[in-house]
A and B are shown apart, each in its own frame.
Chain A
């Protein structure tokens, strides 16, 4: 079984995930754009028991319009979000793709909130399930 370790930019906050992720997705919603500062967020999710977290983190909780809460863990020294949990997937831990030491997956499973997608972003691959 392979491990993929995510770290913040200064390196003190880490999350190590064992095995293959359950789900790899990108999200174009405005909240995910704000979190990443990019055109969309990209993340992989593992069963919580497959992820080991170390280091000092600060938490920020976002409550969605639906009332669901997601807790984001970021490094207080460099600001990078290294893992988060809750929301639609209470049993899974999400790790931003860019935080992983190996962020390159062959394909992504889902592209969601495409009604908010930037027109200059083009997604490639027949494996991707697109949702509005």
Chain B
């Protein structure tokens, strides 16, 4: 079973096959800035299960811990379609949940950086691990 993700104008695409390694939401300020939303939502797959097509621009961010993350977005519409988090998730590719044409096939198992969570939202589900 494969699932397609794309930018808003459609030229940058990522297609995943199989089961993700991890599905999570993150409430940290960096992820809020990246998404523009209250939290970011993403799933990670082994790189060999992700096929990427199209042109992208990249933005690199080095975290306080020294890990390097590279984010790939469409130069035409600005949508982010995939990113790597080296040092933390080597060999994996993360895809924002909202980039999928059908974003409802996954649910988060982890909700992290809840100390930065907005008061008006909760992440529901018995299986979700909540972390500060």
Contacts and interface: CB of A to CB of B under 8 A. Distances in A.
Q: Do A and B come from one complex?
A: yes
Looking at B25, B29, B119, B121, the one whose CB has the most chain A CB atoms below 10 A away is B121
A37 B8 contact: no
Contacts of B39: 38-39
A98 B38 contact: yes
A31 B101 CA distance: 10
Contacts of B96: 36-38
Contact of B76 (A36, A60, A99): A60
B3 to A, nearest CB: 14
A122 B124 contact: yes
Nearest to B117: A104
A92 to B, nearest CB: 16
Contacts, number: 159
A57 B29 CA distance: 22
Classify the secondary structure of B's interface with A. mixed
Interface of A: 7-10, 26, 30-43, 58, 60, 62, 72, 74-81, 96-99, 103-108, 118-125, 128
Interface of B: 6-9, 25, 29-42, 57, 59, 61, 71, 73-80, 96-99, 103-104, 107-108, 118-125, 128
24 contacts: A34-B79, A34-B98, A35-B36, A35-B98, A37-B96, A37-B98, A38-B37, A42-B36, A78-B71, A78-B73, A79-B57, A79-B73, A97-B32, A97-B38, A98-B32, A103-B32, A107-B120, A119-B124, A120-B123, A120-B128, A121-B122, A124-B119, A124-B121, A125-B120
